[in-house]
Amino acid sequence: MNNYEKLNSLSNVAIIEVNDQPVKDWSAFRLSNEVGISSAPPTESQGSKFLELIRDAFIEQVDFERTAGLDTEDEDLVNDLLFEQRHDIIHEVVKGCVPAYRDLIWEAFVGLRAWSEDLAELGGPETDMTKNAETALYMIGCRLGDILWESYRKELMT
């Protein structure tokens, strides 16, 4: 571990990132800013891991879909097909990234300060608080997926 990594891990200092940085290199700090979370989750927290998992799974899924399409179609058609499937891709990725275990759900929820999410968008809060926490994480994940889609698409086009 170099001095920069030690300093960052010890103090959880926010890092200023370059706007044209590749999506795969976006830190949890950048991801949380992009998605509108008021305070970046602590380094190595479940909140950070959740955001980074979505980033990595999203890139992997888009690359897989794109590569599979390019085997049989031209690039413009593949890009059009991916655009049409973007919501399905985002929702499948996020659904697979929301933690399955209650303690991990709550750790990610607290790390992301997800209590500020408006659950009315997806039918409103339920009596099951863990289900509400899952829904809040899902909403954050979908917003992140939309942002990743726009940025990664631009990256692929250049």
In this predicted model, what pLDDT tens digit does every residue of 64-117 receive, in sequence order? 988 888 888 888 888 888 889 999 999 999 999 999 999 999 999 999 999 989
pLDDT of residue 18: 56
List of residues 6+ apart from 75 with CB closer than 8 A: none
- 3: pLDDT confidence band, cut at 50, 70 and 90? very low
The predicted model gives 122-146 an average pLDDT of 92
Structure tokens at 105: 């759900």
Per domain, the residue ranges of the chain are 35-157
Q: Is the dihedral of CA 125, 126, 132, 134 positive or negative?
A: negative
Q: What is the CATH number of domain 35-157?
A: 1.20.120
Question: Is 22 in a helix, a strand, or coil?
Answer: coil
